[in-house]
Chain A
Amino acid sequence: DGGITQSPKYLFRKEGQNVTLSCEQNLNHDAMYWYRQDPGQGLRLIYYSQIVNDFQKGDIAEGYSVSREKKESFPLTVTSAQKNPTAFYLCASSTFHLGEQETQYFGPGTRLLVL
């Protein structure tokens, strides 16, 4: 059963704590993405990776970090430097064709709440 999974579904963070959100895909996609979604808002790109061992900052990378050690995995760490982390986090993956961005496939999301 191919797809993209995220865990946990809900995550609680205490003040000053770093937390890591998991994202795994078995679609054999080269590219992976992390988005943040606030209530009533669209998606804002945090980080993305087009290939293993390489990643780029998106529009709101401050306070976040990522790694891409395996093609299947793209974990996101929300650091204590992110002062307003409460949001819905979505991971996605995709392929490219003739230089064009093809369909992105999304995971079910992780809701991060601050205690």
Chain B
Amino acid sequence: SQQGEEDPQALSIQEGENATMNCSYKTSINNLQWYRQNSGRGLVHLILIRSNEREKHSGRLRVTLDTSKKSSSLLITASRAADTASYFCATDAWGSTLGRLYFGRGTQLTVWP
């Protein structure tokens, strides 16, 4: 499967702490994307990092990409209770059928006030 796999499956932290989630994938990619899903809602796009980029920032989010290890990490700094959600990585696999993303199973993040 070309699907990404997030690690850990669940993460529980206190407000103010940093949260780190990892994603591993199997094939070469064009880009990797991170999405967030609040319970019972649709997914919201957070950040896209292309295969020729190593790091990207957006507000309190920092994403890294290591194509040699086929892995990515999402860091949320100074977490808040409102960050509680599931986080998914998705890959646009190079050479695969054009027009689809491969999603992982997600990391469930719980931030306690």
Mark the stretch among B14-22, B63-71, B73-81, B96-104 that contacts chain A: B96-104
Interface of chain A, main secondary structure: strand
Task: Please tell me if the beta carbons of A43 and B103 are within 8 angstroms of each other in the complex.
Answer: yes
Question: B43 an interface residue at 8 Å Cβ cutoff?
Answer: yes
Number of interface residues, chain B, beta carbon within 8 A: 25
User: Do residues B45 and A104 form an inter-chain contact, with CB atoms below 8 A?
Assistant: yes
Give every chain B residue within 8 A of A102 (Cβ-Cβ): 48
Which A residues contact B (CB, under 8 angstroms)?
6, 31, 33, 35, 40-43, 45, 48, 50, 56, 58, 88, 90, 92, 96, 99-109, 111
Q: What are the 8 tightest A-B residue pairs by CB atom distance, in nearest-first order?
A: A106-B42, A101-B92, A42-B105, A43-B103, A100-B30, A106-B43, A103-B45, A42-B103
Give the A-binding residues of B (Cβ under 8 A): 3, 30-31, 33, 35, 40-45, 48, 50, 88, 90, 92, 97-101, 103-106
14 A-B pairs within 8 Å (CB atoms) are namely A42-B103, A42-B104, A42-B105, A50-B98, A58-B100, A96-B99, A103-B33, A103-B48, A104-B33, A104-B35, A104-B45, A106-B43, A107-B42, A108-B42
